[in-house]
Structure 1
Amino acid sequence: MTTITIRNVPEETRNELAARAARRGQSLQEYMLRLADETASRPDVDELVAEIRASKRHMRSTVTTESILADRDADRR
């Protein structure tokens, strides 16, 4: 296990995170570790977009962004 230090955290941010941790019956360290684990377990936005684009290419979808927006707008009328 390793240690991460975050410097220059605004006091308001620290206080809010500590309050959220307390509401869950956790220490700030436990709360932050859970957040870090959850974040690391999900793909970041760039990875997710790349996966979606690869999937779309694989499926050879012919649906365009314009047709999706047109259909959406038609339902709103």
Structure 2
Amino acid sequence: MYLEEGLFGFIEIDAVYITKAFLILFILFYAIFSLMIFRQIQIMAKTLPTSLSPWLKFIGIVQIGISLGLLFVVIGAF
């Protein structure tokens, strides 16, 4: 083994790992964003109750479920 081969061998980064890190980080931010949206829906429904509020809460819960499910799929796929 030559010195040049083993000098930076521990820094080998594959494109798959970069893609995985980007996807996990992006979906993690999306999950946090969906939680913030759901909190906004709760505050709005408390402040200004309408007949549309239960549907908006349902859509917010579905969005949280999709984001968390997508996060688990991406973590499990790699």
Q: TM-score, normalised by structure 2?
A: 0.30
- Identify the structure with bigger relative contact order (alpha carbons < 8 Å, sequence gap 6+): 2
TM-score, with structure 1 as normaliser: 0.31
The structure carrying a bigger helix percent of its residues is 2
